[in-house]
A and B are shown apart, each in its own frame.
Chain A
Amino acid sequence: MSLIKKCLVWDLDNTLWDGVCLEEKVKVKPEVSEVIKELDNRGILNSIASRGDEDLAISILKEHNLKDYFLVPQINWLPKSQNILKISSELNLSLDTLAFIDDDEFEREQISYMLPEVLTFKAEDAKYLPDYPDFSPSEITLEAKARRSLYQAEIERKRAEENYKSRKEFLISCGMKLNIRQMKENDIPRVLELMTRTHQLNTTGLILNKDELLNLFHQRDESLNIDVVELNDRFGWYGIIGVVIYETDKPLWKLSYLAISCRVMGRGIEKAILITLVRKAYQNDFKIIEADFSDTGRNKMMRALYQMSGFVNEKNGKESKLIKFYADEQKLSRAPDWVEVL
């Protein structure tokens, strides 16, 4: 399956504009400008890895009203592979979700060699990119339209953290508010998007297509629940950042699926969600709390989450891909106290 790219990294000279900006007056190619805006509208981010003078390049982008479309632009004299790694870490996006476009064959080859996960494109292909499956998400959600500003808020959070003496002090200052609510029909596109985009904080790797999810949605009843999780803080709205599917049949409460956006990694949100759900189940008199985990090769974090939160797995002697975890009320750890649950 081809993975939808999350960010396209642009070269500037002879790619974004015709000519070399240090030598001549340049103008952004009109068709390229259209592509940048179209990808942005689809929730695909744009960034820059280019050699050159940063101030000059930024001023040209400003003239064309394009500056704000680019997140964490890297314009310097460092190797582009290094700049792409920086973009990947600043945006917290894995390399296989990045693509790179450059007119220079040497640069493209260099990236393919150093960072084989990054897909590369020739500058002359720019205008066709919106037609490629790599840049064609099946649905455009509210989160996708807002994605650039969501990432921008995230960059501001990172900057704000520099002003605090401790991590905890910073986390408390964010004022994170979590809302776990029933999924509504108009949440479906975002839920599908989360299922396809989320690989690491995903307990089973389940991916449903639209019809399958709709089916499941119409089957909801007392015993089958699909919830979504929204998060806000003082920097803004994160959007729907989590999906939870759980089945209930007293005394059993079973967490079949939990996926959480990688955008919220690093602030204990996954634990806040899990502990909140489990505590609520205990309050509602469920005695057995079970949670499915399936090893996808990329989701070790979720296994760590269960185990570090006080879940134990049934030991059936052999290691299988599907593991059933059980909560132990005595061992259940505390939810992070910097997250308020609404």
Chain B
Amino acid sequence: MINLTVGIEENLLTYIQKECLSKNNKILPGFEDNLFDAGIVDSAGLISFICFIEKEYHILIPDEDLLPENFTSISVIAKYIRSRQKNI
């Protein structure tokens, strides 16, 4: 369920911490950091991330939207999620 007290950015970061990084990872990505350049997400990781986002935010992400402008950093992903929520 969506935790309304936590912002989308924080929630995405929690997912990344849990699913993409090792337990001892100390350096978390900043909201503006490119997740692909940091090796945190790649094509395979992105597909799992998309599944999580679709379930968590009850939105459907069309394949055409898998673009750098929507999915490279936590802040652009959050922005994309907000724009999809408005479109419902």
Residues of A within 8 A of B (CB): 158, 161-171, 200-201, 265-271, 300-305, 307-308, 310, 331, 333-334, 336-338
Inter-chain contact B68/A310, CB cutoff 8 Å = yes
The chain A residue sitting closest to B67, CB to CB, is A307
* 9 closest A-B pairs by CB: A166-B27, A305-B43, A265-B44, A165-B26, A301-B43, A268-B42, A171-B39, A161-B22, A304-B66
Indicate with 1 or 0, residue by residue over B4-35, a CB within 8 angstroms of chain A CB atoms. Answer: 00000000000000001111111100000000
Which listed residue, A161, A166, A302, touches B26 by the CB 8 Å rule?
A166
For B67, the chain A residues whose CB sits under 8 A away are: 307-308
Inter-chain contact B43/A165, CB cutoff 8 Å = no
Inter-chain contact A167/B24, CB cutoff 8 Å = no
How many residue pairs at the A-B interface have CB separations less than 8 Å?
87
CA distance A301 to B36 in the complex (A): 14
Min C-beta distance of A204 to chain B, whole Å:
16
Inter-chain contact B42/A162, CB cutoff 8 Å = no
| Interchain residue pairs with CB less than 8 A apart (21) | A158-B22, A161-B22, A162-B23, A164-B24, A165-B27, A166-B25, A167-B22, A168-B38, A168-B40, A169-B27, A200-B44, A201-B44, A266-B42, A271-B42, A271-B43, A300-B47, A300-B63, A302-B43, A307-B66, A308-B72, A338-B39
For A265, the chain B residues whose CB sits under 8 A away are: 42, 44
Inter-chain contact A167/B44, CB cutoff 8 Å = no
For A302, the chain B residues whose CB sits under 8 A away are: 43
The chain A residue sitting closest to B37, CB to CB, is A334
CA distance A163 to B26 in the complex (A): 10
For B71, the chain A residues whose CB sits under 8 A away are: 308
Given contacts A164-B25, A166-B38, A308-B36, list 8 more A-B pairs with CB under 8 A: A161-B22, A166-B27, A167-B20, A167-B40, A301-B43, A304-B46, A310-B68, A333-B36
CA distance A271 to B72 in the complex (A): 14
Min C-beta distance of B56 to chain A, whole Å:
18
Inter-chain contact B39/A304, CB cutoff 8 Å = no
CA distance A168 to B25 in the complex (A): 10
- Report which residue of B23, B68, B72 has the largest number of chain A beta carbons within 10 angstroms of its beta carbon: B68
Inter-chain contact A308/B43, CB cutoff 8 Å = yes
